[in-house]
């Protein structure tokens, strides 16, 4: 089957290790400062560079590495009116001293008051155009300007009824809150589409957290409903958020169980959410974490409809060592046996980005690029030289 526009056999989640210049400049900002305008010239320089590095490594889905963000989600969502950052949620990873990721608190009516990702998208588009002029992209060759934004579920899962303003949203029925949140996303998505964006990825940890038995139980307690109800609610929220996207805009969703300095946050196979995830979510492509036993087996892929694609994250961005070629090829073929369309419905990636937060995973930039090059090499070995087919 042909791949959706913007998807490649060797694909990526999006974030890349931050250059030292960017980290040093961020460290000089005042504590809790939300004004990062002083960073932009430094970020621009390194984004221009990292676009070329992605193309030279063989990737054709190109991002800005999320160089303008400290967190994959907070920097975007705090730009919505009514959304602030507080507190955290405990991990089920007991092997290391736990990092507690911040949560979002709703302090007023949620509104989209300004374009959030627009300038970043336009700058990235310009860098890809420049790379094409320089000959890094062949005439007629497909390249995707990929935009990744957090899923709207990030505004709900880690909180509770107490973290959603009762003045802005009174009563037990939170439908008005979810409606406002979806509307805010609709406006942002239209802004991006009008500017030329044709591929948008939603980064969602929460549907993956709902695969973890302990987190499922705690989520039910926090929100006063069952984990099954939350899963259905999130599918409806995401569907509403993307409901007005034009037909020629491809939507992907990435599921991850945590990725901070090579640590994970949750565990459990996709079975508890699989049927809703694959059959009720109106997205075109899934980027799924599958780099180790923590993500379970491939059996949940049996629910994947024939017209959809999974970018299988069987390679690891958490480890410095290169993945074993034979193991990755074997796992791809194993996954294909659970999918109606076999390998035609699958692509290859690492399980997550290399730097979901600015600190990055525990490997060097050189090791990162070696891993990316190996991914492209493996994809060409499995599917052929044209990774866009």
User: Which residues lie below 8 Å from residue 366, measured CB to CB, with a gap of 6+?
Assistant: none
Q: Are 198 and 248 in contact (CB under 8 A)?
A: yes
Q: Which residues, 6 or more positions from 38, have their beta carbon under 8 angstroms from its beta carbon?
A: 25, 29
Name which of 222, 253, 328 is nearest 7 in CA terms.
253
Q: What's 343's domain CATH number?
A: 3.20.20.210
In a domain, 344, yes or no: yes
Global pTM value: 0.94
Q: What DSSP string runs through 298-315?
A: SGGGGG--TT-EEEEEEE
The reply to whether 14 falls in a domain is no
| Section 9-20 average pLDDT | 96
Residue 37, in any domain of the structure:
yes
Instruction: Report how far apart, in Å, the C-alpha atoms of 207 and of each of 8, 11, 117, 216, 268 are.
Output: 24, 21, 24, 10, 11
Q: Please provide residue 66's backbone torsions phi and psi, each rounded to the nearest 5 degrees.
A: 60, 35
188, two tokens: 């942002």
Domain-embedded: residue 87: yes
Structure confidence at residue 96 as a pLDDT band (50, 70, 90):
low
Domain that holds residue 274: 20-383
Q: Are 200 and 147 in contact (CB under 8 A)?
A: yes
Task: Give the CA dihedral 133, 385, 14, 332, nearest 10 degrees.
Answer: 180
Count: domains in the chain: 1
Instruction: Evaluate whether residue 7 is within a structural domain.
Output: no
Q: 286 in a domain, yes or no? A: yes
Q: Using CA atoms in the order 158, 206, 351, 341, what is the torsion angle rounded to 10 degrees?
A: 180
Say what the pLDDT of residue 261 is: 75
Residue 193 near residue 204, CB atoms below 8 Å: no
- Do 113 and 184 meet the contact criterion of CB atoms below 8 Å apart? no
Answer yes or no: is 289 within a domain: yes
User: Model confidence over 290-309: pLDDT tens digits?
Assistant: 998 889 999 999 999 999 99
* 33 within a domain of the structure (yes/no): yes
Q: What is the pLDDT of residues 97-145, one digit of tens each?
A: 555 667 789 999 999 999 999 999 999 999 999 999 999 999 999 999 9
């Amino acid at each position: 089957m042909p791949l959706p526009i913007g998807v490649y056999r060797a694909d990526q989640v999006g974030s890349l290790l931050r250059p030292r210049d960017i980290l040093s400049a961020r460290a000089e900002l005042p504590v809790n400062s939300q004004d990062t305008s002083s960073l932009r010239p430094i970020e621009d320089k390194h984004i221009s560079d990292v676009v070329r590095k992605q193309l030279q490594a063989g990737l054709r889905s190109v991002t800005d590495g999320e160089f303008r963000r400290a967190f994959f989600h907070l920097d975007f969502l705090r730009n919505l009116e009514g959304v602030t950052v507080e507190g955290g949620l405990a991990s089920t990873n007991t092997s290391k001293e736990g990092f507690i990721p911040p949560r979002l608190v709703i302090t007023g009516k949620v509104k989209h008051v300004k374009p959030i990702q627009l300038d970043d998208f336009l700058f990235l588009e310009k860098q890809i155009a420049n790379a094409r002029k320089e000959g890094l992209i062949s005439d007629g060759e497909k390249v995707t300007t990929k935009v990744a934004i957090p899923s709207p579920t990030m505004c709900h899962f880690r909180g509770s009824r107490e973290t959603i303003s009762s003045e802005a949203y009174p009563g037990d029925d939170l439908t008005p809150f979810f409606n406002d949140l979806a509307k805010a996303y609709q406006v942002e998505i239209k802004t991006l589409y009008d500017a030329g964006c044709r591929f948008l990825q939603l980064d969602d940890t929460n549907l993956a957290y709902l695969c973890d038995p302990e987190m499922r139980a705690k989520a039910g307690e926090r929100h006063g409903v069952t984990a099954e109800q939350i899963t259905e609610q999130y599918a409806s929220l995401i569907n509403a958020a993307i409901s007005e996207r034009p037909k020629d805009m491809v939507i992907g969703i990435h599921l991850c169980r945590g990725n901070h300095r090579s640590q994970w946050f949750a565990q459990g196979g996709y079975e508890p959410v699989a049927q809703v995830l694959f059959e009720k979510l109106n997205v075109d492509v899934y980027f799924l974490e599958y780099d180790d036993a923590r993500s379970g087996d491939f059996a949940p892929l049996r629910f994947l409809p024939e017209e959809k694609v999974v970018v299988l994250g069987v390679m690891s961005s958490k480890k410095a060592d290169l993945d074993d070629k034979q193991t990755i090829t074997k796992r791809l073929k194993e996954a294909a046996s659970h999918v109606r369309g076999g390998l035609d419905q699958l692509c290859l990636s690492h399980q997550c980005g290399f730097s979901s937060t600015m600190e990055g995973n525990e490997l060097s930039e050189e090791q990162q690029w070696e891993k990316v090059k190996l991914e492209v090499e493996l994809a060409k070995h499995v599917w052929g030289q044209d990774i866009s087919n």
